[in-house]
Chains A and B, each alone.
Chain A
């Protein structure tokens, strides 16, 4: 018997549950954009090569163009639309505005979602391909421009706004660290 080729799925996006029937061929990116009117995530290559469609899945960055919507059930999905809190932009969004980390803006939602994760990954002590010593005993490498360029290499910018993007990620990382420090002090 031929298997069913569509299913009802419930997607948890930016804290809200959406139930919809999807053809199994539907990617998460297409479900977001075409079915749920969340058009912030952009379709660039649709082949996992450009990063414009980057979202967070269970807090980790992923390309939504290679993620089947039906397989995303049960996961916590955060898109660019879900990054601000109480009307306040996420520090990464603010930094991209402050430092002009874009030109046409098409790759920007993906850049920003990716950068949010990059800052967390670095804070968690994860090494990168340009980290000299990956051993866990090694001193964690600071989030230098070289580290940012490597960690953000999955997000292409055809306008070539990379210089400002790297500066924005660095500034945002500093803001996030500062806020974390303030929260810690308040909690203590």
Chain B
């Protein structure tokens, strides 16, 4: 590991000034991804600016009845918070479905959004990877890609974003707040991750040196009836091969409002807007769910060894929505 300097930032303005002064500096939150990548040489910062103890660790109800979540709130504190569990249960479930108790206690909300892909070529510095070394190539496309992306990919990168939390936040229209030396800014999560295109090394629309200070969820009544389901290769403590955050409001057998987002299928949490539009106003029944899933997945471009994900996501949409309808009926 490269030697590095270390400073605990006293406040947000100090933190962004420190990062601005050193292009090789990185923010340190819980460290569960960054420290791991430093050990393998994928990340080689000259300086760490520790932001874990900044006063960004609160979860508050906003004036309009949404929720403001500080960037240094741990995954655990987010998942066990009564208002999250009551008003956005899929968010609590998504967080609880990720990593282990130990890692959830360390990891932070801001860090979760910025975590890097677990593509084996990205994490192995002896291999080519366009995300790590622009222009070096993508061995995954011809190689090991059974858990790679099917949506929004390019010929330069097929890596997935590994977050569970981000899938639920995407379904509920979260907005990311950040601070820079030039002042604060906001980015809807829908615009937060950049298209892969021919620049997979550029992952977010955050300005250089920006510090995420929090995530705001707008009031979302439909989210009170929501769930997260994650499919993985073992029962626990594994990244998803496919996941879904769903929220559903039905009246008189008709879908009044619906939210759908997919995980582990794209370079970012994938909001299934095509499916949502088809479902809104449609009968809340299996035929509608299947048609909506097919419409969303028509854009899928699977590779030789991950085509199963198209069927998997189709089945997840149908199964989760059907279950939610049955629960309402009970």
A residues lining the B interface (CB < 8 Å): 2-5, 7, 23-25, 27, 46-48, 51, 54, 57, 60-63, 66-68, 70-71, 114, 117-118, 121, 124-129, 131, 134-137, 149-151, 153-155
Contacts and interface: CB of A to CB of B under 8 A. Distances in A.
B35 A66 contact: yes
B237 A136 contact: no
B36 A5 contact: no
A67 B106 contact: yes
Contacts of B85: 127, 134-136
B50 A47 contact: no
B52 A71 contact: yes
Contact of B5 (A3, A137, A149): A3
A15 B105 CA distance: 21
Given A66-B36, A71-B28, A149-B236, A134 B6 contact: no
Interface of A, secondary structure class, is: loop
Interface of B, secondary structure class, is: mixed
Interface string B72-91: 00001001101001100100
B35 A27 contact: yes
A50 B18 CA distance: 34
A120 B85 CA distance: 19
Given A63-B102, A71-B31, A135-B86, A129 B93 contact: yes
B307 to A, nearest CB: 28
A154 B103 contact: yes
Interface in B1-32: 1, 3-8, 28, 31-32
B325 interface: no
Contacts of A134: 85, 89, 92-93, 96
A127 B95 CA distance: 11
Contacts of A46: 39
A68 B100 contact: no
Given A48-B103, A63-B103, A129-B96, A135 B89 contact: yes
A46 B102 CA distance: 14
A7 B86 contact: no
Given A62-B102, A71-B50, A135-B89, A5 B1 contact: no
10 contacts: A46-B39, A60-B105, A63-B102, A66-B35, A67-B106, A68-B31, A114-B101, A117-B101, A136-B82, A136-B86
Interface residues of B, number: 41
The 4 closest A-B pairs by CB, nearest first: A3-B5, A154-B100, A153-B236, A5-B3
Contact of A154 (B86, B89, B101): B101
A156 to B, nearest CB: 8
Contacts of A151: 101
B46 interface: yes
Interface in B166-213: none
Interface of B: 1, 3-8, 28, 31-32, 35-36, 38-39, 46-48, 50, 52, 76, 79-80, 82, 85-86, 89, 92-93, 96-97, 99-103, 105-106, 230, 235-237
B129 to A, nearest CB: 18
A62 B99 CA distance: 12
Contacts of A57: 105-106
A16 to B, nearest CB: 23
B92 to A, nearest CB: 5
Given A3-B46, A71-B6, A127-B80, A150 B236 contact: yes
B28 A68 contact: yes
A158 to B, nearest CB: 15
Given A127-B96, A137-B86, 20 more contacts: A2-B5, A2-B46, A3-B5, A4-B5, A24-B4, A48-B36, A60-B76, A62-B102, A63-B103, A66-B31, A71-B28, A121-B101, A127-B80, A129-B93, A131-B96, A134-B85, A135-B86, A136-B86, A149-B236, A154-B100
A126 to B, nearest CB: 5
B5 A24 contact: yes
B86 A66 contact: no
Given A48-B36, A68-B6, A71-B28, A62 B105 contact: yes
A129 B48 CA distance: 33
A85 to B, nearest CB: 23
B66 to A, nearest CB: 18
Which one of A23, A57, A117, A129 has the greatest number of beta carbons of chain B within 10 Å?
Answer: A129
A54 to B, nearest CB: 6
A153 B92 contact: no
Contacts of A71: 6, 8, 28, 31, 50, 52
A2 B39 CA distance: 21
A56 B99 CA distance: 17
Contacts of B105: 57, 60-62
